[in-house]
Each structure stands twice: as C-alpha cells, then as structure tokens.
Homo-oligomer: A and B are copies of this chain.
C-alpha cells in the first residue's frame, strides 16, 4: 500500500467544511464543489473520500451526533442526578459557537431526514438511546410524581425545541436555560402533596 493517510481524519476535515457551509448558507449551499472550496481541496478529493453526496451528508450528521454524545458522556461525570441530566441536556443547546454550528447542521439534517426514511432510523435510534439514559437517571433520582419515560420524552422535546428556537434567534440564551431550569424544577419537585 502506498502513502499512508488517515481516512477518518480526512473525512472529518471535509465534514467540518460542510458544517461551516450548512451553518452559513444552509443545506442547499452544500455541494461537492463548495465543500471542496471551503476545505481548500479539489472536488476530486471530495469524491475520493465520499463516493456519493448522500454518503458525505450522512457522515457529517453522524459526526455531529458523535460529538454531542462525547460531550454528554463527559458531562455525565457529575454526581447529582439533576445536575447530570441538566449537564447532558445543555450539550444539545446551542450555547456557544461550536454548538451553534452543530445545531444548524442538526436542524438542516433533520429536515433533510424528514423525507428520507432510510436515514430516519439512525436518528430515531440515537435519540432513543439518549431518552433511555435520561429516563434511567430520573428513575434513580426518584422523582416521585412523574413517569420517567414520559418526563424524559418531554425533556428531550423541550431541549430540541429550545435549541431550534434559539437558532431562529427568538430569544436570548439565558431565557432558554431558564426555561430548562424551570422545567427541571417542576420535575424534581413534583412531590404533589407527598409533604404533609
């Protein structure tokens, strides 16, 4: 075998360029040539690492998922269940430039996947895993008044919705975090008369 090149590294380089494009010009601004230009390489090279455009898109979105998951696992180091859940969910909100970028790609890709059933399965799987994790934490925290599965679904939806609205710049970051905290308050204090 000839020159040794780290395939995965190259693909990430290209996917990073794709993300930058998607965040600024939208998914319609993503083409092989644009990605190549943004990455400063030839379109031939892009074709060399991704046989088709769909392959490139799928890889890029998978990368976003992986990064969110990696950060979530890092955030899962906290001890207290509530802080843990909060920390994990905060990884989804676009609170800095990196996550804003990811948010744009995620949103664009979700719209993209909404009409491509083949891709939907991966999304569903990944979201399901995270939902299960949150539910498990809620169970361990013993939030009495709520059904863990249901609450986890609500939390994930809330964060997704908040993130989406933040991307349209509907309100400042603090309001989104405050809304999440308020929701967490409701869940973790839902003792409903269990005090005497």
Measured CB to CB, the residues of A under 8 A from B are 23-29, 104, 107-108, 110-116, 120, 123-124, 127-128, 146-147, 150-151, 153-154, 156-162, 164-165, 167-171, 175-176, 178-180, 182-183, 186-187, 189-190, 192-193, 195
Contacts and interface: CB of A to CB of B under 8 A. Distances in A.
Given A153-B179, A186-B186, A164 B115 contact: no
A26 B165 contact: no
Assembly of this chain: how many copies? 2
B154 A179 contact: yes
Given A114-B167, A179-B153, A28 B26 contact: no
Contact of A107 (B23, B114, B192): B114
B165 A160 contact: yes
A193 B27 CA distance: 50
Which has the most chain B C-beta neighbours within 10 Å: A107, A110, A160, A168?
Answer: A168
A182 B28 CA distance: 38
Given A25-B115, A179-B154, A189-B192, A110 B164 contact: yes
Given A150-B179, A151-B182, A170-B128, A26 B114 contact: yes
B182 A120 contact: no
A181 to B, nearest CB: 9
Given A28-B28, A128-B170, 4 more contacts: A114-B167, A120-B169, A150-B175, A183-B183
Nearest to A165: B157
Contact of A104 (B115, B178, B193): B115
Given A161-B161, A168-B123, A182 B115 contact: no
14 contacts: A25-B115, A28-B28, A29-B115, A110-B168, A114-B168, A128-B170, A147-B182, A150-B179, A153-B171, A153-B175, A157-B162, A158-B158, A160-B160, A161-B161
